[in-house]
Chains A and B, each alone.
Chain A
Amino acid sequence: AQKVTQAQTEISVVEKEDVTLDCVYETRDTTYYLFWYKQPPSGELVFLIRRNSFDEQNEISGRYSWNFQKSTSSFNFTITASQVVDSAVYFCALSSGEGGANSKLTFGKGITLSVRP
């Protein structure tokens, strides 16, 4: 069985603070994919990043960065100098297996981030 745990349910920060959203996953497969999605208050779900299990390089995209550590089964997401527009629910997701018909995509329960001006 696979599982994604987002232990933080709600985070509130003041604009320009840095914030890290935690994601811990469990899977027995050696090949798997990790994702982050953003759901702003308008409700749509937006893909942010995908990382496969063989690529442990950290990723930086503007103010966003992702830290993938297989040793701790974590795929954490950091927003640097947060802005009000970053206020959203953020979901971490795990797909294990080779992506075939029997693979499953499991979402965490999401973290609600509020950035106050």
Chain B
Amino acid sequence: NAGVTQTPKFQVLKTGQSMTLQCAQDMNHEYMSWYRQDPGMGLRLIHYSVGAGITDQGEVPNGYNVSRSTTEDFPLRLLSAAPSQTSVYFCASSYGQTNSPLHFGNGTRLTVT
């Protein structure tokens, strides 16, 4: 049972480049979300999804897109990378939306130069 799998683990981008962070879970969880972690800021919600075909914005959505075509996958797209997007990104899923414990992926460390 793999849980939540994020790829890649590390990524370096130049300003203006685009990329997709992949997230997949094999627990049949309906709720999935993306967070970014910055020093001294805790975890901030970027986007979330309560089921296939349904997504919504979190606290810091600007510069990011998501889609949820299947229950398993929830990719995060950076449209035009900026240095302010340098961060550690975590994907998480849970069974019962936000009142259930989150299962986190191992994170993606992204650096934008």
A91 beta carbon closer than 8 Å to chain B: yes
B1 beta carbon closer than 8 Å to chain A: no
Set of chain B residues within 8 Å of A109, measured between Cβ atoms: 40-42
Shortest B38–chain A CB gap in Å is 10
Q: On chain A, which size bracket covers the interface? A: 20 to 34
User: Within B24-70, which residues are at the interface with A (CB < 8 Å)?
Assistant: 33, 35, 40-45, 50, 54, 56
Known interface pairs A98-B99, A103-B99; A44-B106 also in contact (CB < 8 Å): yes
- Asked whether, in the complex, the Cβ of B101 is within 8 Å of the Cβ of A47, the reply is yes
Known interface pairs A43-B107, A44-B106, A45-B90; A99-B97 also in contact (CB < 8 Å): yes
- Asked whether, in the complex, the Cβ of B43 is within 8 Å of the Cβ of A44, the reply is no
A19 beta carbon closer than 8 Å to chain B: no
A107 beta carbon closer than 8 Å to chain B: yes
**Nearest A residue to B107 by beta-carbon distance?**
A43
Task: For A105, give its contact among B50, B90, B98 (CB under 8 Å).
Answer: B98
Residue contacts A-B, CB under 8 angstroms, 18 given: A9-B40, A33-B99, A35-B102, A43-B107, A44-B107, A45-B102, A45-B104, A46-B104, A50-B101, A91-B43, A93-B43, A95-B98, A95-B99, A97-B98, A103-B97, A104-B98, A105-B45, A109-B40
Residue positions of A touching B, CB distance < 8 A? 9, 33, 35, 37, 43-47, 50, 52, 91, 93, 95, 97-101, 103-105, 107-110
Knowing that A35-B102, A43-B88, A107-B44 touch, tell me 18 more A-B residue pairs with CB under 8 angstroms.
Answer: A43-B107, A45-B104, A47-B101, A50-B100, A50-B101, A52-B99, A95-B99, A98-B99, A99-B98, A99-B99, A101-B54, A101-B56, A103-B98, A105-B33, A105-B98, A108-B42, A109-B41, A110-B42
Residue positions of B touching A, CB distance < 8 A? 33, 35, 40-45, 50, 54, 56, 88, 90, 92, 96-104, 106-107
